[in-house]
Amino acid sequence: MSTDLRNHLIRLASRPHGEPVPSDFLRDTAPVPSPGPGQALLRTRYVSLDPYVRGRMSDAKSYAAPMEVGDVIVGGTVAEVVESASDAVSPGDIVLGYGGWQEYSVEDASGLRVLDPSRAPVTTALGVLGMPGFTAYAGLTAIGRPRPGETLAVAAATGPVGSAVAQIAHLSGARTIGIAGGARKVAHLQELGVDAALDHRAPDLPGRLAEAAPDGIDVYFENVGGAVWDAVLPLLNEFARVPVCGLAASYNATSLPEGPDRSGALLGQVLAKSLTLRGFIQREFVPTLFDDFLRDMSTWVENGQVRYTEDVTEGLDRAPETFVGMLRGDNLGKTLIRVS
């Protein structure tokens, strides 16, 4: 690799307070690195933008270590192998990696997954056939367990996780309620075949949700929290299951919500209704469920039983503004940056 070739990258310039602003990101250049033994040099084709990255911009204790100021912003990538110092991958291979917001990266070859572009578009490895799809599959299989005739509700239902949840639940025979923000997203949910599509921005969400779930809710796949959770909680049936995947409504929060502490009332509902609330990070289920996921989801996608949408923005420089827009709910489907 020529030593005068430059790597374009985006770093965390400062920790955001509330919604990230342009000054929280630093566009930078650096020499393209060379791979060491067991490593590969990758040229990024696509970067995945995901809500969890907002949490890693903070230094609050969480399930993953925070980024340090100055670090390249993290994220999954689809990339082409340029140089390899490992037998695991060869130049020209297309791989799933974790190079983050940069044009080139060096990664351990043992952690790369070689993709077959003839089987599925490579972008699906970052979406429906990747971490978001697996999050939906694992949360439903291990925690939600929807059964025929039950009612399932899911928030952020047009995102890559929520849309997969709604469609997998439908395949299981459950009645599905999708909740999303705006008329465009409600229309998309109707195209996906949910039994009821609700706009959380419209007035009286609790009343409209109660009408859509006259027999209550047996499974609620939590991606959002906030006002949607407030509307769902009273409708949960006895023995309802709540996989807690994300809390997007609070990712940019700078303080606790106003009003009295309602944790006691929540615990009262958990006790009285024998509710199961189970937080999870998809990685815990990789050893036991990932092979089943790839088999099942690949079949469903190929047969058209699960459909997916990708929201692709051109150019690494646009990653910060696209990321902020995604946190606001501007995206439809899986948010990607096409780098090269």
Judged on CB neighbours under 10 Å (0-12, 13-18, 19+), 118 is exposed
Q: 76-121: per-residue pLDDT in tens? A: 999 999 999 999 999 999 999 999 999 999 999 999 999 999 999 9
**Chain center to CA of 51:** 6
Return the SS3 of 166: helix
pLDDT tens track for 181-202: 999 999 999 999 999 999 999 9
Contact call for residues 129 and 301 (beta carbons, < 8 A)? yes
The single residue listed with the structure tokens 């646009």 is 318
Tokens coding 83:
């140089």
Q: Which domains occur in the chain, in start order?
A: 6-127+308-338 (3.90.180.10), 131-283 (3.40.50.720)
Digits of tens for pLDDT over the chain (340 positions)?
A: 545 789 999 999 999 999 999 999 999 999 999 999 999 999 999 999 999 999 999 988 888 889 999 999 999 999 999 999 999 999 999 999 999 999 999 999 999 999 999 999 999 999 999 999 999 999 999 999 999 999 999 999 999 999 999 999 999 999 999 999 999 999 999 999 999 999 999 999 999 999 999 999 999 999 988 999 999 999 999 999 999 998 877 777 767 777 777 788 889 999 999 999 999 999 999 999 999 999 999 999 999 999 999 999 999 999 999 999 999 999 999 999 999 7
Which pTM value belongs to this model? 0.92
- Is residue 96 a contact partner of residue 76, using CB atoms and an 8 Å limit? yes
What is the length of the chain? 340
Q: Are 246 and 224 in contact (CB under 8 A)?
A: yes
